[in-house]
Amino acid sequence: MPENKRVVVGVHYLSRLALCLLPLAYCLLPFAYCLLLLLGCSRTDAKFQQYYVQGEQLYIKHCSNCHQKSGKGLGLLYPPLGPSDYMEKNFNDVLCQMKYGRKGFLSVNGQDFNQPMPGVRSLTELEIAEVATYVYNTWGHDRGMVEVAEVKQALDKCSP
Amino acid sequence: MKLFWGRQRSLSCLPIAIGMFTAYCLLLSACRSKEEKLPIFGERTANGTDTVFHTIAPFRFVDQDSAIITNESFGGKIYVADFFFTTCRTICPIMKTQLVRVYEETRDMPDVMILSHTIDPEYDTVALLHDFARRLGVESKKWHFVTGLRDSIYKIAQTSYFATAMKDQTEPDGFIHSGAFLLIDKARRIRGKYDGTKEEDVNRLMGDINTLRKEYGE
């Protein structure tokens, strides 16, 4: 066999090998993509969990006296948090009320409430995001993570 | 023959077993009847051979329906008393949540009532208490929310019910008061004191209500 012929055969084999590997690589691509996504997810998931757990503690400390641990409220005195059409429709207001409180009539699920709610001025933006992450992902709500930036934006509009 | 023997032996054991069981039952019931008396709170004095117990002093308040409420309103009833105010955000909401439990539990007991005194009568008017009771979803014939002269409310809290109630500007809501529930019997004596902010203590109260009712054959 002449020398150059052998080289050609070698190249031929190499190209065939590459051709075989190509579909394999393409097959692996979605897997790699999924893996990356999963890693990303678990990172946001951990953050969500952290907010949620912290939020629950803060909720028990500052909110559950009236709204109850079950989020059901008490009679027509303290409105329920879940289900609550008010919460779904007034996200920014809810964030503000945690800090600054609220007075006057409030309609929740078609019923009027009129007990003034004291705000908790000491809550930081992070803490409000944590409480919001908790209340907006419990009792039937599934808004997902509430970011500090969202809280900041809402508070900027309502700070007295 | 062996079988016959065995049966006879077991038969001879029967009276002993029955006797022991009866004795055990008697012992158990004796112990129980001893337990089933609630203590009587407060100082007691002797009047000749009679013991005079601490009782709730006569009172006269107005409830959420503008009705006059006195000791006579609770004649022949046992009742649970507490002190609160409607704008309180610390322990009162928990106390009211717990009292609603007591209310629901004793709903079918006409001999059990609830008496909530406001310690902020300037703000908690009859109209406000009426609204408060309505929103809580409770009936005024079983649960009286009363207001009156501030001094007489504070005085009865401290001297009759041994509960703390006073104005204090250093407190977040301007008042200090105890979260106690008091169980009062038909002779106006205190038979139990409970922490109205603790679910387990309120469970104890509900058990004691039944014990006290049994004393009266209810």
Residue-wise pLDDT tens digits, B34-60: 557 899 998 888 888 888 999 999 999
> pLDDT class for B1, splitting at 50, 70, 90?
very low
Distance between CA A22 and CA A29 in Å, rounded?
11
A78 close contact with B: CB closer than 8 A: yes
Sheet-wide strand order for B112-118: B143-146, B112-118, B78-84, B180-184, B190-195
B131 close contact with A: CB closer than 8 A: yes
Region of residue B90 (left: phi > 0; alpha: psi -120 to 50; beta: else): alpha
- Identity at A26, one-letter amino acid code: Y
Homologous superfamily assigned to A43-158: Cytochrome c-like domain (1.10.760.10)
Homologous superfamily assigned to B50-215: Glutaredoxin (3.40.30.10)
pLDDT of residue B164: 79
Give residue limits of the domains in chain B: 1-35, 50-215
Average pLDDT of A9-29?
A: 63
Residue B19 confidence (pLDDT) above 60:
yes
What's the gap in Å between the CA of B85 and the closest CA on chain A? 12
Give residue limits of the domains in chain A: 43-158
pLDDT of residue B176: 75
**Residue from the list A74, A113, A114 with its beta carbon closest to the beta carbon of B96:** A74
Which residues of A fall within a CB distance of 8 Å from B136?
Answer: 74-77
Distance between CA A72 and CA A159 in Å, rounded?
28
A68 close contact with B: CB closer than 8 A: yes
Average pLDDT of A110-126?
A: 94
- For B156, counting Cβ atoms within 10 Å of its Cβ (0-12 exposed, 13-18 middle, 19+ buried), the class is buried
> pLDDT class for B120, splitting at 50, 70, 90?
very high
B180 touches B116 (CB < 8 A): no
Which residues of B fall within a CB distance of 8 Å from A115?
Answer: 86, 135
Which residues of A fall within a CB distance of 8 Å from B134?
Answer: 76
Torsion angles phi and psi, residue A20, rounded to 5: -70, -40
Question: Cα separations (Å) of B157 from A36, B147, B195?
Answer: 66, 13, 15
Query: What is the 8-class DSSP label of residue B55?
Result: B
B96/A76 Cβ within 8 A: no
> pLDDT class for B216, splitting at 50, 70, 90?
very high
Average pLDDT of B198-218?
A: 95
Which residues of B fall within a CB distance of 8 Å from A65?
Answer: 89-91, 93-94
Q: Which long-range contacts (CB under 8 A, 24 or more apart) does B131-136 make?
A: B131/A114, B132/A77, B132/B64, B132/B86, B133/B64, B134/A76, B135/A75, B135/A76, B135/A77, B135/A113, B135/A114, B135/A115, B136/A74, B136/A75, B136/A76, B136/A77, B136/B96, B136/B100
ipTM comes to 0.72
Distance between CA B110 and CA B118 in Å, rounded?
24
Helix (H, G, I), strand (E, B) or coil at B91: coil
Report residue B127 as tokens. 């109209």
B93/A74 Cβ within 8 A: yes
**Residue from the list B87, B100, B135 with its beta carbon closest to the beta carbon of A76:** B135
